[in-house]
């Protein structure tokens, strides 16, 4: 490590939600815990205007306005805005990079929103900046394989995979077939750094929570969960149970207003707010049940926290990531359950089966079930990113 503080910039460019930015913040947290005063860390996030979900005292996070506009255009399908703001978004990101002057640039996307990562990589290569590509666990169906071959060999010093090595089969093949010269590091899943691994306890509270992540396509999930919950409570005769639903930050106003019609004595629906991400990452394992999609962060947090969970994976021909992840996590962790059909009848059947189970401690920890190297450590993340700098 250099005598002066090493400067590390992370860039997230989620095209469909907030998960990528959450992972960027968790990587930044690992670096801050490991390097402390030896590093200056900044996260640049392309998140639509008005959504500021990741307050942090450990690292600096900025939301450039042009990138925010392009992110909104991509996420909400506004082609006109995306095209109109494309050039200014690339220029703005380059300006942030030049002002910060990073020694290391970490991107969680090989392309970005509109190809801005390619421009930044080319810009930084001549300045001898260390470039790191940080990937999630599952890429299915396989796309952009030729992109990875061209970009990674040409630009990146290393590839950080935020998953254990047993997930290698789900990465783009070019990354694992030995034909790339760059270093590929499987660091493990990005679990919460400031929460100890909890002993799973099948919760005895009267609260069932449902969260839909970014929430852009979460209206139908909440509608089905509410109907399934009311039917299950009626059949089980457990009138003490309550359902608390959290609408996602990206959910359209009209969808949220439609959901409010479902609010009743036993059902509450809360609009996302800035403190929700942090509080839900620490939500107690004694919840009776946590219902969510099968996104990266939801699955990892439920596994680490020992939180009994019902996963409702998004699954289409063009997006098999969540269905694969749900199947794997429910194989590894017995307190997690997979519902493959998003309809009230299927969810209701699983809710009834789960809610009629008695509360009891499992007297194990997640590590008893997880394969070796399953969860990352701050050191494993830092080692891959910093290298021999």
- The reply to whether 303 and 180 lie within a common domain is no
- Asked if residue 296 and residue 378 are part of one domain, the reply reads no
Asked whether the beta carbons of 45 and 61 are under 8 A apart, the reply is: yes
Yes or no: say if 75 and 113 are a contact pair by the CB < 8 Å rule. no
Return the closest-CA partner of residue 129 out of 168, 101, 152: 101
pLDDT of residue 277: 47
Within-domain flag for 195 = no
Residue 277 inside a domain? The answer is: yes
CATH code at position 146: 3.40.50.2000
pTM of this structure: 0.91
How far is the C-alpha of 361 from the C-alpha of 357, rounded, in Å? 12
| Residue-by-residue pLDDT tens, the chain, 389 positions | 456 799 999 999 988 888 899 999 999 999 999 999 999 999 999 988 877 766 666 678 999 999 999 999 988 889 888 888 889 999 999 999 999 999 999 999 888 888 899 889 889 988 889 999 999 999 988 777 777 777 676 778 889 999 999 999 999 888 887 667 778 999 999 998 887 665 555 555 688 999 987 888 899 999 999 999 999 988 988 888 899 999 988 899 999 999 999 999 999 999 875 555 444 444 544 678 999 999 999 999 999 888 889 999 988 878 899 999 999 999 999 889 999 999 999 999 999 999 888 766 555 566 677 888 899 999 999 999 998 76
183 in any annotated domain: yes
Domain region containing 260? 201-368
In a domain, 226, yes or no: yes
Tell me the two tokens of residue 257: 């207003």
* 3-class DSSP state of 256: helix
Specify whether 216 is located in the same domain as 363.
Answer: yes
Number of domains in the chain: 2
Residue 80 lies in a domain: yes
CA angle 151, 9, 107 (to 5 degrees): 30
pLDDT of residue 316: 82
């Amino acid at each position: 490590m250099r005598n002066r503080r090493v400067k590390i910039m992370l860039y997230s460019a989620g095209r469909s939600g907030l998960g990528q930015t959450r992972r960027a913040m968790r990587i930044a947290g690992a670096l801050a815990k490991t390097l402390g005063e030896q590093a200056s860390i900044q996260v640049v996030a392309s998140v639509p205007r008005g959504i500021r979900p990741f307050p942090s005292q450990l690292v600096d996070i900025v939301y450039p306005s042009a990138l925010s506009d392009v992110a909104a255009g991509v996420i909400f399908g506004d082609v006109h805005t995306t095209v109109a703001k494309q050039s200014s978004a690339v220029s703005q990101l380059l300006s942030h990079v030049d002002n910060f002057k990073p020694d290391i640039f970490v991107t969680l996307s090989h392309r970005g929103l509109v190809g801005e990562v390619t421009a930044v990589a080319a810009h930084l290569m001549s300045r001898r900046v260390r470039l790191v590509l940080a990937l999630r666990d599952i890429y299915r169906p396989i796309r952009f394989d030729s992109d990875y071959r061209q970009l990674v060999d040409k630009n990146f010093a290393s590839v950080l995979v935020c998953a254990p090595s047993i997930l290698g089969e789900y990465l783009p093949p070019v990354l694992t077939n030995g034909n790339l010269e760059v270093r590929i590091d499987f660091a493990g899943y990005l679990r919460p750094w400031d929460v100890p691994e909890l002993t799973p306890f099948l919760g005895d509270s009267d609260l069932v929570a449902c969260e839909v992540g970014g929430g852009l396509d979460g209206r139908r999930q909440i509608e089905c969960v509410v109907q399934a919950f009311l039917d299950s409570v009626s059949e089980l005769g457990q009138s003490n149970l309550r359902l608390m639903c959290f609408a996602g930050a990206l959910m359209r106003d009209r969808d949220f207003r439609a959901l409010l019609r479902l609010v009743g004595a036993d059902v509450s629906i809360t609009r996302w707010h800035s403190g929700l991400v942090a509080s839900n990452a620490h939500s107690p394992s004694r919840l009776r049940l946590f219902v969510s999609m099968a996104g990266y962060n939801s699955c990892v947090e439920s596994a680490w926290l020992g939180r009994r969970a019902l996963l409702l994976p998004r699954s289409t021909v063009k997006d098999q990531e969540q269905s694969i992840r749900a199947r794997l996590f429910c194989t590894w962790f017995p307190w997690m359950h997979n519902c493959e059909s998003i309809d009230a009848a299927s969810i209701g059947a699983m809710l009834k089966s789960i809610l009629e189970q008695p509360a009891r401690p499992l007297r194990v920890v997640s590590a008893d079930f997880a394969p070796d190297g399953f969860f990352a450590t701050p050191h494993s993340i830092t080692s891959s990113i910093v290298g021999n700098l």
